Chains A and B, each alone.
Chain A
Amino acid sequence: MDITEQIKKHLPADEELILVTDTDIRADGSFGRRWLAVSDQRLMTFSDDGKSDGPDTELKLADVKRVKASHLVGQMALEAETDHRRVELLRCTNSLSHRFSRIAKSLNDARKNDKPPEFDLKDEEERHCRQCGRLLPERGSFCPACLKKRKVLARFWKYMHPHLRQVLLITVLIMLPTVTGLAPPYLTKILVDSVLLGSGGAGLLLTLVGSLVVLAAAGTALTVWRGRVAAWMSARIMHAVRFDVYQAIQCLSLRRIDKTQTGSLMSRLTRDTQMLNFVFTDLSTYFIPNMLQLVGICVMLFVLDWTLALLVIVPAPAVIFLTTTVYRRLHGLYHRLWQRRAKMSARATDSISGIRVVKAFTQEPAEIRRFGVRSREVGHATAVAQSTSATAFPIIAFVTTLGTFFVWYFGGLGVMRHRLSLGELMAFLGYLGMFYGPIQMLTRFSDFVNRAFTAAQRLFEITDADQEIFEDPDAEPLTDPRGALTFDNVHFGYVKDKDVLKGLTVDVEPGEMIGLVGRSGVGKTTVTNLICRFYDVDEGAILLDGVDVRKIKLRDLRRHIGIVPQESFLFNGTIAANISYAAPDATKEQIIRAAIAANAHGFIMRFPDGYDTRVGERGARLSGGEKQRIAIARAILHDPKVLILDEATSSVDTQTEELIQEALAHLVKGRTTFAIAHRLSTLRNANRLLVIEDGKTAELGTHDELLAQKGVYQKLVEMQSRLSAIKGVDG
């Protein structure tokens, strides 16, 4: 019997069951199913698939004042408050927290509107792959497992097929040297038997030696040719892969970038593509030729003398076994080494880029010590890995040569008893020398394929998985917006457990300047991040001119939004290039006009190189105020309809602040502006101030209106004036 039927048994006939849904934590806290049922009269939870005598908890909807979804760490609790009690209905892991938050909201809405609750859980995003049932790494996204089967080979093909002719050429070039490589031992046999021991004469000797020379030369030529073709082809393919990966990195969502270290993205770009390159070149220059040769040698060995051939095969299993074990172990060791090395360089990068802080706090010895620890770890891992390979390979080589001793002995006996000619023995030994190399290669095959796949895995993870915020296929282009912005009940959190914005609602007129006010961490920067769509809202919507920003083409949206960030980031290049970053076609006159409006022209002209002054890495050669004004000039030239100013004057002296304020006054004219500033005085030009508290609009109005309200804003102003009074005394 299905769960709904089971639950209905516990209800009076006239009661309508509205919702039955499951959680993943049982009443005793273990993982497992438990049910929440909501009827038009009551709330109930059931264990044991509803088979038990009755519900674990039961509450009359009429008694429930509020249902609260409490986010805990790693789980959520759904609690119901009645007049005098708080009842925990159920818990769920974070995997289901979204569902139960929505249920709580529906229940509370129903209570507020005095209607029976309604639930709409249909658009809950899929957690499992529709094809294979696997858990999805990201809700509603693609299933990597199903993708893998279908697409990886296709993906390799995508990169191969523009070079189809070279691929074919390489295939032929691989085959031919195999033939030229197999012939010499056989010619040796003829040479020994027919010329040296027989009666072939000097003429045959010359022919044979000549053939050997020609074959060797041809083999060399073919190998060179193959290597050159492969080098060019793989370089082109690698460029294509690297290019795609870089393109993907540029389009990564910020949520993902927040989580990933820059270094690890860099290593994908350089290291993994390099790995893929090895695979391409190794495959064509060593691997396939060796395999073909192995087959050829086996045939030749058995043709020459099948009993001896069997003897040769005897040590082969030992060689295969040894090589496999050794490689497995070595792979682990080298992987460890690689991880430690990555850690070490991360440590070094971190402390070298923060060298000023290190020196200021005289922590050089500590940093040196920490690096020393990492370096010693790397040293240890290197030593272990290398000494293991230094031990293993000579032993493998020895085991490999065992076959030769067998052949010398039994082959020697054969020659003495005239069962085998000397030439045959020589040829046999020749082939044998070529036999074990490819065997070792073969044992590395799985390792080889694995390496290719892990590298490909990491690369395709970037190219596929994390494309930026999805653009709606029906997204509208945006031309010439008016600049009206609306936040409609916006909920958002960077991490799932913790909402920063909890239902922010505000209407902003075109051209209006809004000052964002609130304690630090209250979500002021978050508001601006959401306007730019660096992140998407979790609930609610942000509308530009009445259109949901998610329905606007991302390029167009950002085209009309400008930012003057807290930390003005300048790229390593000239001042002119930095000003015209968003508008590379800008004329020199436009650049100068923008700089003038930004109060930057004066100091730029005082530089010996003027607008051609190089700013250094991250603009290191300019002062904070200079960088800021260049950033303002950049925004002016970008000419956005919506402007975001993030604490633009927090780190400069009063005089520079005046200059910047003036520049900003030019900039905000006619643009919808969101300004964040800690110093409330810098918001004096704002039309209205938006005070955010607890993720919501606490107060909204002009400076005077808010003061009159005697609320949060008034308190903040008071505190600040006290602070500046102290400053006044100090200064």
Chain B
Amino acid sequence: MPHRPAEISVSAEREPDYEFLDPETLRLFRDDSGRLRLTIQDDRSYLDVKVVRAFPLFDPDHYIGLLNGKDHVIGIVVDLAALDEGSKALADESLRRHYFTPIIRRIRRMKQEFGAVYCDVDTDHGERHFVCKGLRDALENLGNGELILSDVDGNRYRVIDWRVLDARSRRFLEQVV
């Protein structure tokens, strides 16, 4: 029988920093200086808040962490959809800014030479030319056709589902996936 993982409860007393936050009590807004602020209803308020993903690759839409100005964890929101509209918009905007992962729509050219792979692609952020060092190391297959490509500078590009790209793009990827 496989073991069931233990229910891990994080008591607010000992580790107040790692709570799962109740989205109902949260409000995000911009203060006068343009910084993101978070208030937790009837409790506390944080300046200069950062919004980050706990699972940026495998579950980017859930388990969203909130960090304070010193990068310490305030808490985690399981699903942003439960926030009020204004807060959600700000959280989404903040995520978009924090994670720059252009989505590859088309591969114009992908040429493998001596371990280096030169790519010419169309992304949702426009055309881009980049080089990866060895596809085996640069390509991460997330399953269900989803891929992450990292170039030599550490920039990342996402392919949502390589199986539905156009034939030419597919041909470039078929060999390596």
Q: How far is the CA of A30 from the CA of B175 in the complex (A)?
A: 29
Task: Assess whether A144 is in contact with B114, with CB atoms less than 8 Å apart.
Answer: yes
The reply to whether the CB of B126 lies closer than 8 angstroms to some CB of chain A is yes
Binary CB contact string for chain B from 76 to 114 against chain A (1 if under 8 A, 0 otherwise)? 000000000000000000000111111000000000011
A316 within 8 A of B: no
Asked if residues B136 and A93 are in contact (CB atoms below 8 Å), the reply is no
Q: Which of B11-19, B31-39, B161-169 is the interface stretch?
A: B31-39
Name the distance in Å between B4's Cβ and chain A's nearest Cβ: 12
B114 close to A74 (CB less than 8 A): no
Give Cα A332 to B173, complex, Å. 12
- A137–B130 Cα distance when bound, in Å, is 9
In the bound complex, residues from chain B placing their C-beta under 8 Å from that of A74 are 99-101, 154-156
Q: Once the chains bind, are B137 and A260 in contact (CB under 8 Å)?
A: yes
Contact A93 B152 (CB under 8 A): no
B118 & A84 in contact (Cβ 8 Å cutoff):
no
Instruction: Please indicate the chain B residues that have their CB under 8 angstroms from the CB of A30 in the complex.
Output: 125-126
Is the beta-carbon distance between A366 and B123 smaller than 8 angstroms? no
Are B154 and A495 interface neighbours, CB within 8 A? yes
Contact check, B115 vs A95: say whether CB atoms are below 8 A apart. Answer: no
Q: Establish whether residues A86 and B34, one from each chain, have CB atoms under 8 Å apart when the complex forms.
A: yes
A134 at the interface (CB under 8 A from B): yes
Tell me whether A72 and B100 are in contact (CB under 8 A). yes
Known interface pairs A31-B123, A73-B99, A94-B153; A135-B129 also in contact (CB < 8 Å): yes
A32: interface (CB < 8 Å): yes
A75 lies within 8 A of chain B by Cβ: yes
The answer to whether residues A73 and B137 also contact, given A95-B155, A134-B118, A135-B130 and a CB cut-off of 8 A, is no
Asked if B128 and A259 make an inter-chain contact with CB atoms under 8 angstroms apart, the answer reads no
Q: Does A115 lie at the interface of the complex (its beta carbon under 8 Å from any beta carbon of B)?
A: no
Interfacial chain A residues near B123, Cβ < 8 Å: 31
In this complex, how many residues of chain A approach chain B with their Cβ under 8 Å: the count is 45
How far does the alpha carbon of A86 sit from the alpha carbon of B47 in the complex, in Å?
Answer: 13
Count A-B pairs with CB separation below 8 Å.
102
Point out the residue from B98, B116, B131, B132 that lies within 8 Å of A72, measured CB to CB. Answer: B98
Of the candidate stretches A224-232, A370-378, A454-462, the one touching chain B is A454-462
Within the complex, what minimum Cβ distance (angstroms) separates A687 from chain B?
Answer: 32
Asked if B3 is at the interface (CB within 8 A of a chain A CB), the reply is yes
Residues B115-169 near A (CB distance < 8 A): 115-116, 118, 123, 125-134, 136-137, 151-156
A136 at the interface (CB under 8 A from B): yes
CB within 8 Å for A457 and B156 given contacts A31-B126, A32-B126, A138-B133: no
Residue pair A84, B33 in contact (C-beta under 8 Å):
yes
Cβ-defined contact, B2 with A457, below 8 A: no
A31 and B125 contact, CB distance less than 8 A:
yes
Contact present for A73 and B115 (CB under 8 Å): no
Identify the interface centre among A73, A259, A497: most chain B CB within 10 Å of its CB. A73
Residues of B within 8 Å of A147, CB to CB, are 114
- Interface positions, chain A 300-353, Cβ under 8 Å from B, are 332, 335
**A628–B132 Cα gap in the complex (Å)?**
41
B33–A135 CB distance below 8 A: no
Q: Which residues of A contact B3 (CB under 8 A)?
A: 361-362
Do A137 and B131 have beta carbons less than 8 Å apart?
yes
Given A72-B100, A137-B131, A144-B114, check contact A496 B32 (CB 8 Å). Answer: no
Q: Nearest chain-B residue to A95 (Cβ)?
A: B153
Considering the complex, give the chain A residue whose CB is closest to the CB of B157.
Answer: A74
Q: Are A458 and B115 in touch, CB under 8 angstroms?
A: yes
Pick from A137, A148, A332: contact of B133, CB under 8 Å: A137
**Cβ of A264 under 8 Å from chain B:** yes
Give A497 to B156 CA distance when docked, in angstroms. Answer: 12
Contact with B154, one of A138, A465, A497 (Cβ below 8 angstroms): A497
Q: With a CB–CB cut-off of 8 A, which chain B residues contact A145?
A: 113-114, 116
The residue of chain B having its C-beta at the shortest distance from the C-beta of A76 within the complex is: B100
B153 and A73 contact, CB distance less than 8 A: no
CB atoms of B115 and A461 under 8 A apart = yes
Complex Cα–Cα for A136 and B129 (A): 12
A690 to B160 Cα, complex, angstroms: 48
What's the minimum C-beta distance from B14 to chain A, rounded to whole angstroms? 14
Complex CA–CA separation, A87 to B156 (angstroms)? 25
Partner of B115, one of A32, A365, A465: A465
Residues of A within 8 A of B136 (CB): 264
Residues of B within 8 A of A259 (CB): 137
A148 with B113, Cβ < 8 A, contacts A31-B123, A93-B100 known? yes
Chain A, residue nearest B174 (CB): A332
A238 within 8 A of B: no
CA distance A422 to B69 in the complex (A): 97
Contact B114 A496 (CB under 8 A): no
Residues of B contacting A29 in the complex (Cβ-Cβ under 8 angstroms): 125
Known A31-B128, A73-B100, A260-B137; contact A137-B115, beta-carbon cutoff 8 A: yes
Instruction: Choose one: B2, B113, B156; the contact of A144 (CB below 8 Å).
Output: B113
User: Which residue, A32, A137, A335, has most C-beta atoms of chain B within 10 A?
Assistant: A137
Q: Identify which of B115, B116, B154 contacts A94 (C-beta below 8 A).
A: B154
| Residue A710, interface by CB 8 Å | no
A77 at the binding interface (Cβ < 8 Å): yes
Chain A residues, Cβ within 8 Å of B56? 73
Chain B residue contacts of A75, Cβ below 8 A: 100, 155
Residues of A within 8 A of B151 (CB): 95
A residues near B129, Cβ cutoff 8 Å: 135
List chain A residues, Cβ under 8 A from B125.
25, 29-31
Among candidates A87, A138, A332, A361, residue contacting B175 with C-beta atoms closer than 8 Å: A332
Determine the chain A residues whose CB is within 8 A of the CB of B174 once the complex forms: 332
Q: Residues of A contacting B114 with CB < 8 Å?
A: 144-145, 147-148, 457, 460-461, 465
Closest to A498 in B: B154
Q: Apart from A75-B155, A95-B155, what 8 extra A-B contacts exist at CB < 8 Å?
A: A30-B126, A74-B101, A137-B152, A144-B114, A332-B174, A457-B115, A465-B115, A496-B154
Write 5 A-B pairs (CB below 8 A) sorted by A numbering.
A74-B156, A137-B115, A138-B133, A148-B113, A457-B115
B-side residues, CB < 8 A to A, are 2-3, 32-35, 56, 97-102, 113-116, 118, 123, 125-134, 136-137, 151-156, 174-175
- Which 5 residue pairs spanning A and B have beta carbons closest together? A144-B114, A461-B115, A74-B100, A75-B100, A31-B126
